[in-house]
Structure 1
Amino acid sequence: MHLLVLSEAFYPETSGGAHVRWRFCQLAVERGHDVTVFTPHEAGLAKSETVDGVEIRRPFPVKPDSMPIYSTLAVVTRIAASVLFFIYLCWWLRDRDVDGLHSASHLTHWVGKALSVLYDLPLVSFIGYTPSVDADPSFSPQLLLERMNFRFFMGKTVFCQTPGVKTVIERYTDGTVAVLHGILNQKRITDAVSTADRDQRRADLGVDGNEKLLVYVGRLAPIKNPVGAVEVLSELPSEYKLSIVGDGDERETVEQAARELGVENRVQVCGTLPHEEALATISAADALVLPSHTESYPTVVFEALALNTAVFVTPVGIIPTIDHPRLHVGSLDEFPRLISETTIESADGLDTETLERFSMERYTDGLLGAFERCHKVQQPVEETTLP
């Protein structure tokens, strides 16, 4: 099949949604499909390139690089750019054969729907982060845009990440709606574990004997609240240590908090590490601490669960809907009690069930399976001559 993918976030961006779309395209190509991606142009990126067999086209930007994506002006410029995307894609499709469309962003859903109708192409939609994740979402332009998408611009098959959002979408569309998880790079995690020495990594991080190692992995930015991890450590017994993996504007603030709270000798700021080394650090830890104010589908949580590491996380994004024995959800004030009262059992190796449940391989199977079912329905019945 030749698939056309429409996404506002894509390679080389590393956010959760961009990672998911990029990995899906890689796996689809590995399985023998042709994939062309249309995504906005950003400064410093080529307007057209092929990476790992994936054709990536970035015809024009949708907003100034310095403008926050959900600011009022950015929403206006993104809507205007989506009209240009539609016109451009109509021109691009005029002499090309495409077997299916995949839309994965709020402002590409109407474009995908219009193209699917004009060119009689199957459309598979994906709803990632959405205000509908909230139990009682407040009115906002984003929520209005989302509900319009649900009503008018979904494909015959729609995938989302939570049962609650599935229920909301089903109120608006006649399409088939299903929950589909997928974020983990199965091969990368398996390779990292196979080459990691857990005991040596703990020793490298200065963890001795019966000491407990907590780890924070992420950008050092206010929205991620890395200072919260230091505050949690300060309320735990002295046998707990904290390794912070990541860098950013809050690094100096984090180091200052450690000094002021008297835990400087129990906190190690490792800076940014290669992904394989970050995975080895998570695997060596007794628990991952994620005190974020906002998340959507935090990759690091699912990586930690697949690596047999306990996770303590605030109730953000999709997290409250996930049921897992090593996942502990609560407010930041509850973290010290939750950590102290939880029996954390150290374990080497992989939790293969969790790895497969949240793997990109499973996600890819779901999307490609939907396109294949669409093509079976569309295939004409061959005429036969009776003897």
Structure 2
Amino acid sequence: MDVCDQAFLIIDGEPDPVDIDCSTGYTIVSNSTVNLLPGAHISETVGGGVGTGILTVNYGADNIINIFGGQIDTMLNTGSTDTVTIYGSDFAVDGVLLDPSQDQIVNTGAGTYIFDLTGVYEDGSLIDLPCYLEADGVINLNIQQTAPEIEVLPALLEWDFGDVEVGQIAIVLVQIFNYGTADLNVSSVTIAGDADFTITDGPATPLVIAPNTSIGVDFEITYAPATEAPAAAVVTIVSDDEDESIIDVALSGVGIVIVVPPTQQIQDILDYFDASVIDGTLVGYGPGNSASKRLKALRNMIESASDLINASAYAQAIDQLESIAKKTDGVSKPQDFVVGGAAAVLNTMINDLIADLAS
């Protein structure tokens, strides 16, 4: 073996026996299990009978030889009482491709069957094994099936958005992976159900997902409730996965309306007023000193409305707020007390509060 101190070779459960000598070889007499892993390089013989190889397994002595990868320079030599299994696919004998259903090579003759076995190991590396198969010897072919294997997240194939305020949105990603050994062909990804659910981002279909990719293909699903009510929908994924050609992801959510109490609304108006004055988006309107006086007067009017609301004097509060609204509506008569980018937002907040108090 090229590298004697690395775990490319497992003998009876132990990686690279400590007493192996790369110059003289290591001989297994009988009743042992040998696993060759990807990266192994055997300079001479696996099996027995020919050469003074780095690894010699005495063939015909009830040994188990599992070949998962690696290279054997001289031969794989085995007899009728050994159990030899090679893990891979696309096997060929002397260049002739074997039927995928063939899972053994058997020497039914009296002499030694000598041939070259080629193929592909499970890790994708190439198989190229010179074989000496003694009379009645058998090589088992553990054929790796080539097929896509779909995996979809969310893992439980359902997603509950929970309570989402009307006018707001919530997003989840539906991710498609291919953990198989062949391309996964996704023919369609569709959504059906309440119109509050939509596919808002994702690649066009049909699409192909390469095998063994750790990065999924993402489809963004958005829930935007328009009414105060429960809603449901189903995302359907259609592919050429053999046993899961159609996968449904169930979606659910509840649209809610959050009622902000009037006391909080008027406080929000005061906070917005102060913040807008500080950042310069709300300024007093009028000639000379009248601009600053009108700005202060408007805030005093809002504070007065706040006192009335806190006292539950809603009718009087509405009268006060309507007067404030007329001084922030951008209409020339009566003249506004404030101008700036924040004035229109402030006016909307005031009118919303009036509507809530009147309802």
Q: TM-score, normalised by structure 2?
A: 0.26
- Larger strand share, 1 or 2: 2
Select the structure with the greater relative contact order (CA < 8 A; seq sep ≥ 6).
Answer: 1
- Larger helix share, 1 or 2: 1
